[in-house]
């Protein structure tokens, strides 16, 4: 089981990632933040279902920062 303060942390991180996703003007970066938000939210949901899991693995977009 995940500690209740960890669930609170995951919930807060999901919200933060959603805000970052909306704030960026770069679609590739927005997608990364959106994916992270979804993964944190799944952690919250899985704990509520009694099955905590975390899988964060994504490839960096092929994107030029110039």
Q: Average pLDDT for residues 14-38, to the nearest whole number?
A: 96
Question: Across all residues in the chain, what is the average pLDDT?
Answer: 83
Confidence band of 4 (pLDDT split at 50, 70, 90): confident
Judged against a pLDDT cut of 80, whether residue 20 lies above it is answered with yes
Report the alpha-carbon distance of residue 40 to residue 11 in Å, rounded: 7
Report pLDDT for 1: 62
Q: Average pLDDT for residues 1-19, to the nearest whole number?
A: 89
Q: Kindly give, in sequence order, each residue whose CB lies less than 8 Å from that of residue 15, ignoring residues fewer than 6 positions away.
A: 37
Extents of the domains making up the chain: 4-48
pTM of the complete model: 0.68
What does the block give as tokens for 8? 């609170």
Confidence band of 16 (pLDDT split at 50, 70, 90): very high
């Amino acid at each position: 089981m995940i500690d209740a303060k960890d669930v609170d942390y995951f919930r807060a991180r999901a919200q933060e990632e959603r805000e970052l996703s909306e704030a960026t003007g770069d679609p590739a970066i927005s997608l990364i933040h959106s994916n992270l938000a979804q993964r944190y939210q799944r952690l919250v949901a899985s704990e509520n279902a009694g099955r905590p899991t975390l899988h964060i693995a994504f490839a960096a977009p092929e994107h030029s920062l110039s």
